[in-house]
């Protein structure tokens, strides 16, 4: 089996986040996994992200809520929400991934899995988060 690329890891991690949201349990260890996802759980990048989401879900959702004008997490399309959760998690809790990479990858995933306008929504929300974070770190 070949090593997964960072992009493949990120996409499959987003899919697990979506699945965890669907079942209402953000402990990835409780999921029934298909073989492709079992391979994912051997990747450090995926484990770090899933652990951070499990530990910081409330803070991640709060950050998303604070940076959307009319949409709160309970009204955001589930795919878009999974993408946002992944990116916000990377921005705040995974230091090895630059913010711009997290944003660019989230937009790419939104174009692939989201609706026609998902990528613009994801880009807008993440742009606000990154700008706010930059201001707070000055």
108-111: Cβ within 8 A, 24+ apart: 108/7, 109/10, 109/11, 109/14, 109/83, 110/79, 110/80, 110/83
How much is the pTM? 0.92
Cα 95 from Cα 98, distance rounded (Å): 7
- With a CB cutoff of 8 Å and minimum separation 6, the contacts of 65 are 72, 73
Domain limits of the chain? 6-136
Residue 1 clears pLDDT 60, i.e. is over it = no
Which fold would CATH assign to domain 6-136? Answer: N-utilizing Substance Protein B Homolog; Chain A (1.10.940)
> What are 14-32's pLDDT values in tens digits?
999 999 999 999 998 887 7
Cα→Cα distances 60→33, 36, 38, Å: 24, 26, 25
């Amino acid at each position: 089996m070949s090593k997964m690329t960072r992009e493949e890891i990120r996409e499959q991690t987003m899919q697990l986040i979506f699945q965890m949201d669907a079942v209402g349990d953000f402990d990835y260890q409780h999921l029934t996994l298909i073989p492709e996802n079992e391979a994912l759980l051997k990747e450090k990048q995926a484990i770090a992200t899933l652990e951070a989401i499990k530990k910081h879900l409330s803070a991640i959702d709060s950050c998303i809520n604070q940076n959307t004008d009319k949409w709160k997490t309970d009204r955001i399309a589930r795919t878009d929400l999974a993408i946002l959760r992944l990116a916000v998690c990377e921005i705040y809790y995974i230091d090895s991934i630059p913010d711009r990479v997290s944003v660019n990858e989230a937009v790419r995933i939104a174009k692939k899995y989201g609706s026609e306008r998902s990528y613009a929504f994801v880009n807008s929300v993440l742009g606000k988060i990154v700008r706010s974070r930059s201001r707070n770190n000055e």
